[in-house]
Amino acid sequence: MYCKKSNIISAYYSIVEKGGIKYDDMQLDVLKLLEEFSSRFYSYNFFSKNKLGLYLHGHVGRGKSTIMNIYYENCGIIKKHRLHFNTFMQDIHEHLHKLRSTSTKSPLNEVAKSIAKEVRLFFLDEMQVHDIGDAMILYRLFSALFANRVVFLITSNYSPDNLYCDGLKRELFTPAIDLIKKNMHIMCLDGKQDYRVLKGKAPNYFFGQNADKILANTFADLTHSKKEIDTSNFFINHIKIKIKRAYEGVLWFEFAELCEKAIWTAEYKKIAQSCHMIFISNIPAFDFSNQNEAKRFTVLIDELYEYKVKLFCSSAIGLSNINQYSQDLKRTVSRLIEMCSII
């Protein structure tokens, strides 16, 4: 059995009634399209007459991931999988590396076939393309996946035409954009309200002269009954990372230790998996002089958000004063507001 009865719209209204989200006409329109999509998913001519998924884009905090999660949990489609885009690309590169070591002639096709055996509906959250290594393989990867009838639901803060904007050798990436536009419904969810900002003022984000002291006191209050852990030899993927303090399930890092070293998604994912609460001190303002640190911080927050890690931060400046020079940083600040609002 591949599919069970979906309950998408009623699930949305139920969450609204419970106060989980605020009603939004545009969100409901997306879910209605997706419900119709589900009803035809297993018809005999679906793949010959329908586009293979939905690409939902819009500004940060508009509820893209929320409504896609509602669909994912209630669509009734059994063979489905959900990943953050960063994790998806990390997995793809790992699979390709293994296949190339065995002299496979068409490793991307083999990866696509392997995915298609297990998954009919693939939900990719927060698609963003900055790495040239990702950009160069996405056309062939999506071509192979579409050919193997994998259906995608993708969320992004970027429209397809703005993916990998100003990236190195972007002309080699544009076929991937054309492929997405040809094979997927493109919808923009662009309401005026950032629902993350609406929820709270980030009481767990401490800034100003006494920010570090408040963070230290908060750490002490939340760990007084826990056992301290020796972190003198803390390595992730052979990289030594200095932890300021560590107790069972609770880690405290300096920003510089996390974001000024050459670490990326794989390391941040392991950090997120190793704790349920994390403290980060001395977050700086971001400008064009520390773009690499800003990119790492964005990936770090994405992974912590994905694994629902409770977050406490300190900085000399307030969130509203972080220089949001990029679309990704705007999303990161929006997520910080949400994550640091959880008491």
Domain that holds residue 306: 195-339
> What percentage of residues in the chain have a pLDDT greater than 70?
90
H or E element: which one contains 17? helix 8-17
Instruction: Assess whether 199 and 335 both reside in one domain.
Output: yes
Instruction: Assess whether 295 and 256 both reside in one domain.
Output: yes
Helices of type H across 40-173: 46-49, 64-74, 85-100, 107-118, 132-147
29 or 48, which is more confident? 29
Q: What is the DSSP-derived secondary structure letter of residue 150?
A: -
Instruction: Assess whether 218 and 129 both reside in one domain.
Output: no
11, 199, 209, 327 from 17: Cα distances, Å? 10, 16, 42, 32
Q: What distance lies between CA 217 and its chain's CA centroid?
A: 31
Q: How many domains does the chain have?
A: 2
Strands (DSSP E) along 107-209, which ranges?
A: 121-125, 151-156, 185-188, 205-207
For 277-328, the pLDDT digits (tens) are 999 999 998 988 898 999 999 999 999 998 999 999 999 888 877 765 677 7
Q: How far apart are CA 151 and CA 135, in angstroms?
A: 20
Instruction: Assess whether 202 and 133 both reside in one domain.
Output: no
Which CATH number goes with the domain that contains 86? 3.40.50.300
2 domain residue, yes or no: no
Q: Is the pLDDT of residue 109 over 70?
A: yes
3 domain residue, yes or no: no
Q: How far apart are CA 270 and CA 228, in angstroms?
A: 20
Question: pTM of this prediction?
Answer: 0.69
The mean-pLDDT minimum among 58-72, 128-142, 174-188 falls in 58-72
Instruction: Give the torsion sign (CA, 207, 210, 213, 219).
Output: negative
Residue pair 124/90 in contact by the 8 Å Cβ criterion: no
- In single-letter form, the type of residue at position 248 comes to E
Tokens standing for 12? 């949305």
Instruction: Assess whether 289 and 173 both reside in one domain.
Output: no
Q: How far apart are CA 186 and CA 179, in angstroms?
A: 12
Instruction: Assess whether 138 and 46 both reside in one domain.
Output: yes
Instruction: Assess whether 184 and 199 both reside in one domain.
Output: no
Q: What angle do CA 59, 269, 151 make, to 5 degrees?
A: 55
Q: What is the DSSP-derived secondary structure letter of residue 258?
A: H
pLDDT tier at 2 (50, 70, 90 boundaries)? very low
Choosing from 163, 188, 213, the residue where a domain stops is 188
For 227-276, the pLDDT digits (tens) are 899 887 788 888 889 999 999 999 999 999 999 998 988 899 999 999 99
- In single-letter form, the type of residue at position 258 comes to L
Q: Are strands 151-156 and 121-125 parallel, antiparallel or unpaired?
A: parallel
Tokens standing for 119? 């998954």
Which CATH number goes with the domain that contains 314? 3.40.50
Instruction: Assess whether 50 and 95 both reside in one domain.
Output: yes
1 domain residue, yes or no: no
Q: How far apart are CA 138 and CA 145, in angstroms?
A: 10
Kindly report the number of other CB atoms within 10 A of residue 26's CB atom. Answer: 16
Residue pair 305/168 in contact by the 8 Å Cβ criterion: no
